[in-house]
Amino acid sequence: MQRITILGATGSIGVSTLDVLARHPDKYQVYALSAHSRVEQLAAQCAQFQPQRAVVGTADAAARLAALLRERGLRTEVEYGEAALCAIASSEQTDTVMAAIVGAAGLAPALAAARAGKKILLANKEALVMSGQLFMDAVHEHGATLLPIDSEHNAIFQSLPQSYARSPAAAGVAKIVLTASGGPFLKRAVETLEAVTPDEACKHPNWEMGRKISVDSATMMNKGLEVIEAHWLFGAPAALIEVVIHPQSVIHSMVSYVDGSVIAELGNPDMRTPIANALAFPERIASGVAQLDLTAVGTLQFEKPDFARFPCLALAFEALEAGGTAPALLNAANEVAVQAFLEQRIGFRDIDRVIARVMHENEHGAASSIEAVMAQDARARVAAQAIVAGLAR
């Protein structure tokens, strides 16, 4: 019986994880759940799965959750704040941690899980984007197990040998190919993107995701962050990572080998597949996802990404090449810019402008410690907020 902590239980990944867990009550038990502010949804999850602990973002949210749980006669212990998140991620009473908190807020608890030697199902990109070497060092030094949940990275994981040890040359890997749907604006005229609304940006053609991640998909920053993540997960330099537009989202990613073979993972676009794969690895369990019918799909298309349409992807490659704290600058600026866009304070194409200015107007330091990374993150957010204020409508 695996005991599971889910960080970000009310988000799309958290909800999908609970759906998979509910199908296998003989294999998994929920130890702890967390959410930032969706108290009512978290209370309903606690009623269904009866975790020992629940963590929210603020004291006010904790008081509201505790009241809702008392009304239901539940004994779940309620806590709040970053320290509490780190505590449930590192607790001796949990075996596996689903790290699905969006943004930089997910870094500290994911790192706590690594330092506690947990099995980590990593859906939080920022843990590797911001502090890749530090995070991978913690995984190695403390004997943690790291399994990727992003559909693309999970596909690469499944397409590599089980003995793969972050060395492309040793495994005969010629190239890692990340597929991307292209989002909702793949064919929209570039000159019209200035007028994109938040609701339009959040209408992904294939995947159901939160609003922030949906905007990242529309700008292809999501794919840029995945490029940086792939570098750390698989030990591949930027030159060995390629992005290919694949609108059907059937091939989730591929590995090209030196003998000319290409191994790919295919499936319907549903996050329960990679979640089930990581939960049960190296075994397989039912996820609730329908079997793929290639005759119904009919056609698979591929094209190269256009950096003029998707400048955020180019900025991510630039940050990876620069190294150090450049990816932390990229990530922080993107979070600020996307939030400003969702609040309709800036336009859609202002997102990449804010990121570019933050990256080019601020020095990149060495990512020598978590403190250095977080200090750079804070500086980048201040710089991005100032730029947003100057652009605000």
pLDDT in tens, 48-97: 999 999 999 999 999 999 999 999 999 999 999 999 999 999 999 999 99
The answer to whether residues 14 and 67 belong to one domain is: yes
CATH code, 378: 1.10.1740.10
In a domain, 371, yes or no: yes
The answer to whether residues 341 and 387 belong to one domain is: yes
Last residue of a domain, one of 266, 283, 298: 266
pLDDT in tens, 173-194: 999 999 999 988 898 999 999 9
In a domain, 235, yes or no: yes
pLDDT in tens, 205-244: 766 677 888 899 999 999 999 999 999 999 999 999 999 9
In a domain, 32, yes or no: yes
The answer to whether residues 110 and 220 belong to one domain is: no
The answer to whether residues 191 and 226 belong to one domain is: yes
In a domain, 307, yes or no: no
The answer to whether residues 19 and 125 belong to one domain is: yes
Q: Are strands 96-99 and 119-122 parallel, antiparallel or unpaired?
A: parallel
What does the DSSP 8-state code read for residue 303?
Answer: B
The residues that bridge with 264 in the sheet, in sequence order, are: 254
Last residue of a domain, one of 232, 266, 300: 266
In a domain, 318, yes or no: no
Helix H or strand E segment including 119: strand 119-122
State both tokens at 165.
């040890």
In a domain, 290, yes or no: no
The answer to whether residues 96 and 161 belong to one domain is: no
Helix H or strand E segment including 176: strand 173-180
CATH code, 103: 3.40.50.720
The answer to whether residues 56 and 119 belong to one domain is: yes
pTM: 0.91
d(CA 297, CA 278) in angstroms, rounded, equals 26
The answer to whether residues 84 and 10 belong to one domain is: yes
Last residue of a domain, one of 89, 120, 148: 148
pLDDT at 210: 77
Query: Which of 60, 11, 22, 66 shows the shortest CA–CA distance to 43?
Result: 66
The answer to whether residues 132 and 196 belong to one domain is: no
d(CA 219, CA 301) in angstroms, rounded, equals 20
pLDDT at 370: 87
In a domain, 40, yes or no: yes
Percent of the chain at pLDDT exceeding 90: 86
pLDDT-based confidence at 127, cuts 50/70/90? confident
Q: Specify the number of domains making up the chain.
A: 3
In a domain, 297, yes or no: no
> What domain range is 346 assigned to?
323-391
d(CA 346, CA 344) in angstroms, rounded, equals 6
The answer to whether residues 69 and 130 belong to one domain is: yes
The answer to whether residues 183 and 82 belong to one domain is: no
CB 80 within 8 A of CB 57: yes
The answer to whether residues 16 and 114 belong to one domain is: yes
